[in-house]
Amino acid sequence: MRRLLAALVLAGGIGVAFFTLQSSKPGWWERLWYPLRYEQIVRGHAHNYELDPALLAAVIYQESKFKANARSKSGAIGLMQLLPGTAKGIAVHTGGTRFVVSDLYKPELNVRYGAWYLHHLMQKYGDGRTALAAYNAGQDNVDRWRRNGQAIQFSETRAYVKRVEDLKEIYRDAYGL
């Protein structure tokens, strides 16, 4: 009985410690939960495409958790979860001539294409929230919503935009991006 009581007290202490860490969120704690892999690639392409590096890292985390081999049910590939058709269009716009779908598993190329696309959406829509909505729901949906004077119509997309904005602050605080 004493051992059980001691175990419960210890477990409660661990729970309190976990809660304290989770609510205070020291930098090392956030870096543990929110890794920043491919940092030089993220920083480089954020700079090249005039993006906030914390935003680029947040999109990558939300899309793939920094897993270069990620593939969605819809066929999106890689760190930034690009659809092959979208990536082929980006390749053409950026001067590429030999697009191969398997290249989307390469972190450098995937982030370069994704950063270009995010920059394009920021330029087209003029604000980060709308650009993120288009990244998630597609330009056709966002264009239709705007034409009809509507806000984001998909709850999944509203949640996506909010989550990426929250992650952006986490990456800024944890990594100084």
What's the chain's Rg over C-alpha atoms? 20
Of residues 44, 41, 37, 63, the one with CA closest to residue 108: 41
What is the rounded CA–CA span in Å between residue 161 and residue 129? 6
DSSP letters spanning 15-59: HHHHHHHHHH--HHHHHHHS---SHHHHHHHHHHTT--HHHHHHH
Annotated catalytic, 63? yes
**Which residue among the candidates 63, 156, 165, 169 is catalytic per the annotation?**
63
Catalytic center residues = 63
